[in-house]
Structure 1
Amino acid sequence: MSNHFITLSYLRRTNRTNNTTEHTPQEGKNLGLYNHMPHSFHIHNPTNKMTLLVIAVLICLPFLMYLFRAQPKPGPALPPGPRPLPTIGNLHMLGHLPHRTLAKLAHKYGPILSLRLGHVPAIVVSCPKAAGLFLKRHDAIFAGRPMIQATEILSYGARGMDCAQYGKYWRRVRKMCTLHLLNPTKVASFEGLRRVEIEAAVRRLVEFAAAREVADVGEKMVVGKGKEDDKRYDLKGVIEEASPLAGAFNLADFVPYLAPLDLQGLSKTMKDLSKRIDEIFENIIDDHLKEEDFTRHKDILGNLVALMKNPNNEFISPFDREPSCLTYLSTSVVTITWALAALIKHPRVMKLLQEELDSVIGKERIVIESDLPKLPFLDMVVKETFRLYPVAPFLVPRESVEDVTVNGYKIPQKSRIMINFWAIGRDPNVWSENAEEFYPERFIGRDIDVQGQDFELIPFGAGRRGYPGMQLDLLTVKLVVAQFAHCFTWELPNGMQPEKLDMNEEFGLSMPRSNKLLAIPSYRL
């Protein structure tokens, strides 16, 4: 209809310019349009009739194509799913929390369902067995990544390891990460840095405990930069802004011809944020390069700068600063916040964890990394947090690189594969009838890990596109949760009872809490 109005406005302006002869009132009355059209609009003019006909066809064409679309050729059919509308497909069905909406649709259509998100065919997978088909049996076919506006703008043309297209470049970056940045030896070498930062976080919370002040728990657990550096670089602020942008359902990704209009304003916002990210990383890299011993920091970026300075490395040119900005921004803080919120909401579980910590560690010292293998209940608490509150409810979407048949269904090339890990984690067929309850003891006697082999619990994905920073994230989450549970008891402000604590989530690239976790710590060591 907007095209109709624009065309009419154009005709009105044209007719006034051309000074065409107006109809008489009687002629307009006879046409039945005198009170509805401008006098200068000649309805009997063949050119105008043709214009209206073209407008009508353009308006009706998508609906005609929808009604009289070609019958599918014989062979495997697409997975079942709701019927899409013209142009927008099923985008209107996603709602504010798509992982919840699509979990409900899976109950109706099955664990493998098909949608059309604008112009993009999408396959949603909602059970462990089906996830194994896509992430293990046909892993190579679904190793692609969809090209979306967020990764194009925020990740230097999709050069980040998580979003890079499957191929030679991705293999080179992956090799660099596994050999030089995130292998077990390198992760262990960061222990001193982690200890310093966690001790600093504990000291800040001790100050809140002494003053009986309410602490923003997520704000006080940022690990990785000193307090002054964090003020200078504002890494936490950038991460908080980038996460919802990267995970937003951007119309430009699904209806490409709308991209130049930037109807949601996302493109402009992402470009502005990208400039800030550039400035932050440039400053951090420059700081490292100025030092003679740039490995002194014992962090990931220090290792990247060391590679840049080594002329014999096969990964990064000394002048190629973009790959140095591929340092991943860990989402472990989101997981830690969910874990502590769940422990505060469930005092029974917190008590069991503190009893284990007191038994193994005692109250004379804080937890160190070598203690972690001796804390099985802590391990169960972390697994239960991953199950109920996954950082990435759809993992990182994949894309099929060719046509393939999976479980008897046709999966076209360029289909977007969305593994609804949130739905898998709450499936009563997998986790029993108390699947919605935070109950870590469900893992007793169940040999389920989180490293991509057991598809009931895949918070870091699986297969060749699994998350390479898994070991570092696991270590960080366990260590901080153990530290905060061991050092403090927690009370909700204003006398709020634990069972009243809000556990609602927001949707994005990560799945943060809707509201900040505010609590009053009391030091217990």
Structure 2
Amino acid sequence: MSLIFILLGIPLFFFLLLKQRSNGSNTNLLPPGPPGLPLIGNLHQFIKSAPHLYLWQLSQKYGPLMSLKLGYRPTLIVSSANMAKELLKTHDLDFCSRPQLLSLQKLSYNRLDVSFSPYNAYWREIRKICVIHLFNSKMAELYRPIREDEVSQLIEKILKSSAASKPINLSQVTECLTSAFICRIAFGKRYEHEGAEISRFHEFHAQLEAMFVSFFVTDYFPSMGWMDRITGMTYSLEKVFKEMDAFLQQLIDDHLDPKRQKPKREDIIDVLLRIMNDAESTFDFSYDNIKAVLMDVFIAGTDTSAATVIWGMTLLMKHPTAMKKAQDEVRNLVGKKGFVNEDDIKDLPYLKAIVKETFRLQSTTPLLLPRETIRDCNISGYKIPAKTLVYVNAWAIGRDIEAWGQNVEEFCPERFIGSSIDYKGQDFGLIPFGSGRRICPGLHMGVATIELVLSNLLYRFDWEIPCGMKKEDLDFDSAPGIVMHKRKALCLLPKEYKY
């Protein structure tokens, strides 16, 4: 079997190599970039454990608009605020589609979701539905009682650790909180933070994340897709998809059960089923459409808020002066009330500055979601062909000296005090949610959760590093995944603040 594979593979290799060389005449029209290897191009540089960091280092040599070759995919890397503005605002329409990658296509029901759908009439319609009915600021306010209830339960859990003088795994409990919140607003279910159901939820979520960042030969060498079947990657993807489909179908079936008790407020499945059954709707909406949107909520809503809170707390533990300043602000405002609600947060400018500075330094999706050009276009004198894969390195942009000055590596929330710079897509030095047509529609919900959790953690507790650890032990290494989590869980010792 191995001999047959070699005999078939050698001529195929030379055929692909000759084909790649025949296409090399257009490379002088592309932006500069590092030389690649035969056949694979720059894939060996892209699939490193922290590609955002390595690509940032490459951009220091080749510039803020850099080209790579990932197999047969021409690829563009954007690493500065000015260049991001050029692509995401001036040429937004040229750069607003999504690439057809195998795992994304399969898990999004052939790209029926909002995040990974190509730019077309369907995407415009499904995004309009999500913005009007699901993810706007009005809906974020509607789900406020659920958010506040989950944060209250988190605080009670931490109080038990505080009373016992035990460290708490803040990474774990924060992820449980965001999972519980998403389950309530999306599925109408409440899973206990330490129950079997929430454990299954997290295990399933981890499998999905692993598929999203797995390497499929098909994506970079379309004529060699058979290798994914040989390696078992196609089987693994199909297995995870079937499990996800069964999970989501069961949630829908539960909502269709005529014996189901009518909820006090609609969850996301209720809203989507109502849209599907609307006789006046001109949009052909099916169960697969619903599942695709739920997959987006499941992935994006669970992880990003929790990861941002943990990066924020890590930065504050490294910078006790900023921690003290934030605690004084929230405690002076809230007094002895016992809980920071969302009405209080609008009067916490330093807390909001901390959130923005965390977005700048530790974007949870450092390369954002990949884009694809829909037609040939010219950028800064370079010709960018249609179907070019585009990554915007938000992590690198947060360290752009032209946008932020010389102290880019310094954690300095004060840079946002009195500043109008925001994260809503118009200030291109700070684009954790993207910008333009493909900006994340869930940003209102995400920021509301982050601010509520962080403000209450700072209000109710003084935080210490557990015995045997030093401040220097708090690292910023990230785990691989579509969302950048801290590699080592953040474990801290909470001390209840006696107000």
TM-score (norm 2): 0.88
Is the CA contact 2:20–2:72 (under 8 Å) kept in the aligned structure 1?
Answer: no
Equivalent residue for 1:123? 76
Could you say if the C-alpha distance between residues 301 and 215 of structure 1 is closer, same or farther in structure 2, counting changes exceeding 3 Å? Answer: farther
Question: SS of the residue aligned with 1:228?
Answer: coil
Q: CA deviation at 1:59?
A: 5.7
The one-letter amino acid of 2:250's match is N
Contact 1:248 1:509 (8 Å CA) reproduced = no
In the alignment, which residue of structure 2 is the partner of 1:256?
A: 222
- For 1:167 and 1:342, locate their aligned partners in 2 and report how far apart those are by CA, in whole Å: 41
- 1:286 Cα deviation from its structure 2 partner: 2.7
Moved more, 484-493 or 144-153: 484-493
| Corresponding position: 1:282 with 2:246 | no
Q: 1:304 aligns with which of 269, 272, 289?
A: 272
Looking at structure 2, the residues matched to 264 and 457 of structure 1 have their Cα atoms a distance apart, in angstroms, of: 40
Shift of 1:489: 1.8
What CA distance in whole angstroms lies between the structure 1 residues aligned with 2:434 and 2:40? 29
Q: Percent identity?
A: 35
SS in 2 for 1:394: coil
Say which is worse superposed, 441-450 or 224-233, in terms of deviation. Answer: 224-233
Say if 2:349 and 2:417, in contact at 8 Å, map to a contact too. Answer: no
Aligned residues: 475
User: 1:294·1:306 contact (CA, 8 Å) conserved in 2?
Assistant: no
Quote the offset at 1:4 in angstroms.
Answer: 8.5
Match of 1:78 among 14, 23, 30: 30
| CA distance in 2 between partners of 1:442 and 1:101 (Å) | 27
Counterpart among 229, 232, 238 of residue 204 in structure 2: 238
**In 2, are the aligned partners of 1:305 and 1:324 still within 8 Å (CA)?**
no
Equivalences for 1:394-409 in 2 at 5 Å? 394-409=367-382
| Larger RCO: 1 or 2 (CA < 8 Å, sep 6+) | 2
2:164 & 2:25 partners in 1: Cα distance?
71
Question: Which stretch shifts more, 416-425 or 271-280?
Answer: 271-280
Question: How far has the Cα of 1:293 moved from its partner?
Answer: 5.8
Distance 1:490 1:266, change over 3 A: farther
2:328 and 2:472 map into 1 onto residues whose CA distance is 21
Take 2:377 and 2:476, find their aligned partners in 1: how far apart are those partners?
40
**1:173 match:** 126
**CA 1:413 to 1:387, structure 2 compared with 1: closer, same or farther past 3 Å?**
same
Unaligned 5+ runs, structure 2: 184-189
Q: Quick one: which of 227, 232, 236 aligns to 1:269?
A: 236
The 5 Å alignment of 1:338-349 reads 338-349=311-322
- Distance change in 2, residues 1:228/1:287 (3 Å): farther
Structure 1 position 62, deviation (Å): 5.2
Structure 1, gaps ≥5 residues long: 11-54
Kindly name which structure, 1 or 2, has the bigger radius of gyration based on alpha carbons. Answer: 1
Which residue of structure 1 aligns with residue 99 of structure 2? 146
Q: Secondary structure of 1:140's match?
A: helix
Q: Distance in 2 between matches of 1:293 and 1:97?
A: 47
Amino acid at match of 1:302: D
Give 1:281-430 correspondences, 5 Å limit: 281-290=248-257, 294-315=262-283, 317=285, 320-327=287-294, 328-329=297-298, 330=301, 331-430=304-403
Q: C-alpha root-mean-square deviation of aligned residues, in Å?
A: 2.6
How far apart, in 1, do the equivalents of 2:251 and 2:369 lie?
27
285 and 258 in structure 1: CA distance in 2 versus 1, 3 angstrom threshold: same
Q: State the partner residue of 1:463.
A: 436
Gap change, CA 1:470 and 1:267, over 3 Å in 2: same
CA offset at residue 304 of structure 1? 2.3
